[in-house]
Structure 1
């Protein structure tokens, strides 16, 4: 398979390219940007459009009426197709805190979906958000399932998943958390800190043990204080860590997003934490076992009004941070594509338009609406998924 994409501009890692207007796609991977094609080459002309790398959502529970915890191939397919329509070409299906039995059921089903393939965005593995959390910052996670980290339980889940669990979130103050982090980090599982009341020293100990990601920074964790920088401060002061941010304007205000970007730079990772109400009208939904009300663009639990994930589209998070941090589009886009890939250690395959990488790309019109998308070089008709 060989073809050329023609467009007005391409969003690269370090610039917006507008001189070379043709991009090679060779057997599902990006080739070179060139100025003049060979006469016999197949050219797909996108006119005045912008070509951007596919976005990578590393924290998403559901969308368009489907939830990962449904544990059905139908729901996984709905999520995959809906994400592709809004510019996401790779994602980590994310579980909620639940019983070991329920999590086992879901990861077994996810294994089938990952290994058989989905028709839209492509799963890059499974993200277990919990159950090793703390009640002080439980958010919309069910505390009745909270427990201390168990390598035996984790390994059983990993086996059930076919070794597709690539990321797990936990609270670093739980008993045995540090030893757990050391162990699973050596097994190439990324450890994230979240739904935690850990102080600065405990969070730092977790970082030194191998934790590298902070779950939706500032939300669900001990925040900044002038006498204890807390979990959030540990993230900001450790350059090598990655800060997830939900840039919807509700979870974190615009000025704090700007501040975080100035500190973390390309170690800021845009996520959605989207739940099943994403892309649907406002109203009553569920996130796991909790009833949720979505109103004015915000999802909150009916019981106490806690934020319950989001209904954010990742591309809107890109647009928001471009405005709030006053950065160029290519730089903002990287935070939703390349930075997530780096945080998961897969930047050699995905995350940017670069020779040899998987040809995941989206086509944007002048209003930055997604008109087309491709995964591994295969263009998808977004109207007939």
Structure 2
């Protein structure tokens, strides 16, 4: 049915939690529940049974899940990832790449173009996030160093011309040519982020001034205070704090960023400038001990332990195995953040950063009917994407 009403729920709204609330959906959009009486019998009624009703979670940084990775470069892999994350409350996500050869990148962009046409069971795709290859080698983390390089105008112009599906590009602003690269990306109307960077505060500020407005996985693969000739020099982390208008994305799994830092980020930046992201790799949503980061055939072998993926020698994390509901739960429990703020960092704030707030991120009338129902422990009961029920947890009464 195209008409639905969810009733008897605890609606998360700007003014607080509304008890015994209702929300209406018609033709994939949010409508006022007050007109339900005029709809007649052709309405699907969903009793929330006291569960929370929230906007769908928006994940701006996802590599994989459910045994698939976007770097596999197949339509099936894209759909598998989308169908995995929708089970955990994600209604929209940005498929994210790793450093790679140019031919592989084009293959992934081709797969995205096809997958978005037939993605009817998973989280909606909201544009590709290119993570690399213009990174500081010293801050590569688990990125393959064989593909890390400085910005090449001929290359990045060719990439941008290849696909309109690119929504964001993450790079290190201190590299030779990175400011020119940033200006070009912004001129194309794309989101520009700094990542895997050894930038000093001054270099990060110069990047921000040309458009590097988002800090990719804040703290991870990112410079902080260093010393040179006995003098302390502020880094990218400090820039993220001091530049009020800079947004930060946080892998709030409690491992990449531990509890004291979650509290610090929230205290300084606040929910309006923080987007929670999974940075999930293919092992997300699975119970496995070993996996692969990147392409299944050529990617890096990793181990999964302590709730995170690591390189086999344990020298670096290799992406997370978190899901969106875990981020909200962790931010509340370990970051001591109120429910409304934790959810805002997974909904409204990422929607604003991605330029989608006119249609996603809140449950305002007229916006996309992306809705998630969950209990007090953020266990997902139901996920609705554009008015379509794409996941229902049989273990939670609805």
* TM-score for both structures, normalised by structure 2: 0.91
| Match in the other structure for 2:364 | 354
Answer whether contact 1:134 1:143 (CA < 8 A) is retained.
no
Residue segments in structure 1 that go unaligned for 5+ positions in a row: none
CA distances 1:225-257 after superposition (whole Å, capped 9, x unpaired): 592220111111111111111111111111111
Deviation at residue 78 of structure 1 after TM alignment: 0.8
Asked if 1:24 is matched to 2:24, the reply is yes
User: 232, 238, 243: which is aligned to 2:237?
Assistant: 232
For residue 206 of structure 1, give the secondary structure of its aligned residue in structure 2: helix
User: 346, 357, 376: which is aligned to 1:336?
Assistant: 346
Asked if 1:277 is matched to 2:283, the reply is yes
| Match in the other structure for 2:98 | 96
Answer whether contact 1:158 1:164 (CA < 8 A) is retained.
no
In 1, Cα distance between equivalents of 2:165 and 2:29: 23
For residue 182 of structure 1, give the secondary structure of its aligned residue in structure 2: helix
In 2, Cα distance between equivalents of 1:302 and 1:36: 56
Deviation at residue 14 of structure 1 after TM alignment: 4.1
In 1, Cα distance between equivalents of 2:36 and 2:154: 58
Deviation at residue 40 of structure 1 after TM alignment: 3.0
| Match in the other structure for 1:167 | 168
| Match in the other structure for 2:251 | 246
| Match in the other structure for 2:193 | 192
In 1, Cα distance between equivalents of 2:388 and 2:376: 23
User: 31, 54, 65: which is aligned to 2:56?
Assistant: 54
Larger displacement relative to structure 2 (2-11 or 196-205): 2-11
In 1, Cα distance between equivalents of 2:263 and 2:326: 16
| Match in the other structure for 2:114 | 112
In 1, Cα distance between equivalents of 2:119 and 2:287: 29
Answer whether contact 2:380 2:393 (CA < 8 A) is retained.
no
Deviation at residue 381 of structure 1 after TM alignment: 4.2
Deviation at residue 294 of structure 1 after TM alignment: 0.6
| Match in the other structure for 2:205 | 204
Detail structure 1 runs of 4+ shifted over 6 Å in the superposition: none
Deviation at residue 366 of structure 1 after TM alignment: 4.2
Please, what is the CA RMSD of the aligned residues? 1.9
CA distances 1:181-233 after superposition (whole Å, capped 9, x unpaired): 11111211111111111111000000000111101111101014592220111
| Match in the other structure for 2:3 | 2
In 1, Cα distance between equivalents of 2:4 and 2:392: 20
| Match in the other structure for 2:264 | 259
For residue 308 of structure 1, give the secondary structure of its aligned residue in structure 2: strand
Deviation at residue 129 of structure 1 after TM alignment: 0.4
Larger displacement relative to structure 2 (102-111 or 126-135): 102-111
For residue 54 of structure 2, give the secondary structure of its aligned residue in structure 1: strand
Deviation at residue 296 of structure 1 after TM alignment: 2.2
Answer whether contact 2:30 2:364 (CA < 8 A) is retained.
yes
CA distances 1:297-351 after superposition (whole Å, capped 9, x unpaired): 1211114531100111111111111223433212210101111111111111111
| Match in the other structure for 1:322 | 332
In 2, Cα distance between equivalents of 1:383 and 1:248: 22
Deviation at residue 105 of structure 1 after TM alignment: 1.2
CA distances 1:346-369 after superposition (whole Å, capped 9, x unpaired): 111111111111000011134431
In 2, Cα distance between equivalents of 1:97 and 1:156: 16
Change (3 A) 1:172 1:183: same
Asked if 1:306 is matched to 2:316, the reply is yes
| Match in the other structure for 1:68 | 70
For residue 330 of structure 2, give the secondary structure of its aligned residue in structure 1: helix
Answer whether contact 2:73 2:104 (CA < 8 A) is retained.
no
Answer whether contact 2:151 2:175 (CA < 8 A) is retained.
yes
